[in-house]
Amino acid sequence: MAKNSIKWDGVARDQMNHRGTRTEREMAQRFKGSNLFLTALLCLVSRYHAAGLGDLLDRASQLSDKLHSLSTSLTNELDTHFPPMGKILMPRPSMCHTASLQTPHDKDQALRVPESELLSLARALLLSWNDPLLLLSAEAPSLSHPHNGAIYSKTRELQDQSNNLSSGLDRLVHKIGTSSKSLSPLPFKGGDLGGDKNSRLINFYFLLSCFRRDSHKIDNFLKLLRCRAAKQDIC
Amino acid sequence: MTIITSFAGVLAQISEGATHFAVDNSDKGVENMAASLFIILIFLSCLFLGTGAASDGGAAMPSEALSQDPHFTGCLSRDLQTFRCWWNAGSFQNLTDPGALRVFFATSRSSEWRECPEYSASVPNECYFNKSHTDIWTKYCIQLRSQAQNITYSDLCFDVENIVYPDPPIQFNWTFLSVSRSGLHFDIMVHWEPPPSAEVKSGWMTLVYEVQYRETNTSRWITLEQEKGTQQSIYSLHTGTEYEVRVRCKMRLFENFGDFSETILVYIQPIPTKESQFPVTRVLIFGAVGVGILLLLIIFSQQQKLMVILLPPVPAPKIKGIDPELLKKGKLEELSSILSSHYMYQPEPYQEDDWVEFIEVDTGEPCEKQGADSDTQRLLGSGPGLLGFKDDDSGRASCYDPDFPDPEIPELPLPKQGLGPAHLATASSTSPSPTAVNPVHPLIQTQLGTQTWVNMDFYAQVSDVTPSGGVVLSPGQQGGAPQEVEEEKKKEKEGEEDKEGEEREKEEERDKSKKKEVEKFQLVVVDPEGGAYTSERDARQISAEFKPGQGYTPAPPQAPAPGVPMGGYQSPYLLIEGPPCPPLPPVSDYTVVQDVDAQHSLLLNPTPPEPQIPQPPTPAKPLPAMPVGYLSPDLLGNITP
How do residues A93-143 score in pLDDT, each as one tens digit? 467 888 888 889 888 999 898 888 999 999 999 999 999 999 989 888 888
Identify the residue with better confidence: B51 or A75: A75
pLDDT tens, residue by residue, B81-118: 999 999 888 887 777 777 788 899 998 888 899 999 99
- Strands B243-251 and B602-604: what pairing? unpaired
Q: Contact, B125 vs B86, CB < 8 A?
A: yes
pLDDT at B482: 44
Beta-strand ranges (E) seen in B12-150 are 71-77, 83-88, 101-107, 114-115, 126-129, 139-146
Nearest CA in chain A to B81: A106
Nearest-5° Cα angle at B121, B120 to B124 = 65
CB–CB contact A107 B199 (8 Å) = yes
pLDDT tens, residue by residue, B288-320: 999 999 999 988 888 888 888 888 888 887 777
pTM (2 decimals)?
A: 0.50
Chain A residues within 8 A of B137 when measuring between CB atoms: 103, 105, 213, 216-217
A189: confidence class by pLDDT, cuts 50, 70, 90: confident
- The rounded distance, in Å, linking the Cα atoms of B239 and B268 is 5
How close B206 comes to chain A (CA, Å)? 9
pLDDT at B327: 66
pLDDT at B609: 47
Q: Contact, B352 vs B451, CB < 8 A?
A: no
- The rounded distance, in Å, linking the Cα atoms of B476 and B462 is 10
The rounded mean pLDDT for chain A is 81
- The rounded distance, in Å, linking the Cα atoms of A64 and A215 is 7
Burial, A90: exposed, middle or buried (Cβ in 10 Å; 0-12, 13-18, 19+)?
middle
Among B139, B250, B254, B256, most A C-beta atoms within 10 A, so best to mutate, is B139
pLDDT at B306: 81
CB–CB contact A224 B203 (8 Å) = yes
Nearest CA in chain B to A233: B202
CB–CB contact A216 B161 (8 Å) = yes
Chain A residues within 8 A of B108 when measuring between CB atoms: 93-95, 99
Chain A residues within 8 A of B131 when measuring between CB atoms: 106, 108
A148: confidence class by pLDDT, cuts 50, 70, 90: confident
CB–CB contact A93 B253 (8 Å) = no
Q: What are phi and psi of B604, to 5 degrees?
A: -100, 170
- The rounded distance, in Å, linking the Cα atoms of B96 and B100 is 6
Q: Which of A95, A93, A68, A77 is nearest to A205 (CA)?
A: A77
Does the CB of B80 have a partner CB in chain A at under 8 Å?
A: yes
Q: What are phi and psi of A115, to 5 degrees?
A: -65, -45
In this prediction the ipTM stands at: 0.76
pLDDT tens, residue by residue, A2-59: 444 444 454 445 555 555 567 777 777 776 777 787 777 776 665 555 558 888 999 9
Which residues does chain B have with pLDDT short of 70? 1-32, 38-39, 41-66, 273-278, 321-332, 334-335, 338-339, 341-460, 474-592, 605-641
pLDDT at B330: 62
Report CA B218 to chain centroid distance, whole Å.
53
Q: Contact, B627 vs B610, CB < 8 A?
A: no
Does the CB of B159 have a partner CB in chain A at under 8 Å?
A: yes
Cα B413 to Cα A216, B406, B466, B467: the distances in Å are 121, 9, 12, 11
Collect contacts of A100-104 with beta carbons under 8 A, ≥24 apart.
A100/A186, A101/A125, A101/A128, A101/A183, A101/A186, A103/A217, A103/A221, A103/B137
Does the CB of B81 have a partner CB in chain A at under 8 Å?
A: yes
pLDDT at B582: 47
- The rounded distance, in Å, linking the Cα atoms of A167 and A155 is 19
Q: What are phi and psi of B169, to 5 degrees?
A: -65, 155
Chain B residues within 8 A of A105 when measuring between CB atoms: 109, 135-138
pLDDT at B63: 46
